[in-house]
């Protein structure tokens, strides 16, 4: 059986412009799925406590690892909800710097390169301002009723996003022997 975190490549192409995202949560959902690291499949983590829904498809980039102990997260903008455990080819247009319960928890903002309605976006600044406000609002509010603190620090551009992705791929490569199930 393919392990969604360990067996799929991070990058789609040699230029490292496009990357894979394994969708965990469908756009419009309140069900928070999360990678079960030992098995590589998804488990239901919780139903969101607040009256908010995910503003975009949400998932992780395979063969990445971050200081919070998880793969790198990504919000994938496209026009349709995508089923959990689907693989989407994406390109970073920015990153949302976020602190979750005292730990950095960056979220790449990406576009689905196979969706012609969003594929031409190359930078966060091209998005409707309201969409960026919705994304910020969601992450500022989605854990309030759980009494957890989330601080959205800033949105940065695609260069910073690509650097965060490169660092997460490199950290995964160093840590892979310890992370892979035995």
pLDDT tens figures, 112-135 = 999 999 999 999 999 999 999 999
User: For the CA atoms of 94, 131, 61, 93, what is the dihedral angle to 10 degrees?
Assistant: -30
CA distance readout (Å), 75 to 79, 80, 181: 13, 13, 26
Tell me the pLDDT band of 160, cut-offs 50, 70 and 90: very high
Strand 150-156 relative to strand 87-100: parallel, antiparallel, unpaired? antiparallel
**Beta strands per DSSP E along 38-172:** 42-47, 57-60, 73-77, 87-100, 103-104, 107-112, 150-156
Confidence at residue 125, expressed as pLDDT on a 0 to 100 scale = 96
Sign of CA dihedral 5, 13, 96, 57: negative
Confidence at residue 1, expressed as pLDDT on a 0 to 100 scale = 84
**How many degrees, rounded to 5, is the angle at CA 10 between CA 36 and CA 113?**
110
Confidence at residue 144, expressed as pLDDT on a 0 to 100 scale = 85
Confidence at residue 5, expressed as pLDDT on a 0 to 100 scale = 97
Q: Give the separation between CA 44 and CA 58, rounded to whole angstroms.
A: 14
pLDDT tens figures, 69-118 = 999 999 999 999 999 999 999 999 999 999 988 888 999 999 999 999 99
- Mean pLDDT value across the chain: 95
Q: 83 or 13: whose pLDDT is higher?
A: 83
Residue 182 has pLDDT above 80, yes or no: no
Confidence at residue 44, expressed as pLDDT on a 0 to 100 scale = 98
Of 106, 109, 140, 105, residue with least CA distance to 127: 109
Predicted TM-score of the model (pTM): 0.95
Residue 24 has pLDDT above 80, yes or no: yes
Confidence at residue 9, expressed as pLDDT on a 0 to 100 scale = 97
Contact indicator for 169, 63 with CB cutoff of 8 Å: yes
Confidence at residue 16, expressed as pLDDT on a 0 to 100 scale = 84
Most confident among 9-18, 24-33, 142-151 (mean pLDDT): 24-33
> Residues near 40 by Cβ (< 8 Å), separated by ≥ 6?
1, 2, 3, 4, 5, 6, 7, 181
Q: Which residue is it, tokens 């301002």? A: 129
CA distance readout (Å), 40 to 1, 35, 71, 119, 179: 9, 6, 12, 29, 12
Ordered domains of the chain (ranges, CATH): 19-175 (3.90.80.10)
Q: 15 or 172: whose pLDDT is higher?
A: 172
């Amino acid at each position: 059986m393919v392990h969604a975190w360990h067996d799929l490549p991070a990058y789609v192409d040699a230029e490292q412009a496009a990357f894979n995202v394994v969708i965990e949560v469908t756009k419009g959902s309140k069900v928070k799925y999360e990678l079960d690291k030992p098995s590589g499949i998804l488990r239901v983590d919780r139903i969101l406590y607040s009256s908010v829904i995910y503003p975009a498809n949400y998932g992780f980039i395979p063969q990445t690892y971050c200081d919070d102990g998880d793969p790198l997260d990504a919000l994938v903008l496209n026009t349709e909800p995508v089923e959990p455990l689907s693989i989407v080819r994406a390109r970073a247009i920015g990153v949302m710097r976020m602190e979750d319960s005292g730990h950095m928890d960056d979220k790449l903002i990406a576009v689905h390169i196979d969706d012609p309605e969003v594929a031409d976006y190359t930078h966060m600044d091209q998005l409707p301002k309201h969409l960026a406000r919705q994304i910020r609002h969601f992450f500022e509010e989605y854990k309030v009723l759980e009494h957890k603190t989330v601080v959205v620090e800033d949105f940065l551009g695609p260069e910073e996003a690509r650097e965060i992705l490169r660092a997460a791929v490199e950290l995964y490569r160093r840590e892979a022997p310890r992370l892979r199930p035995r």
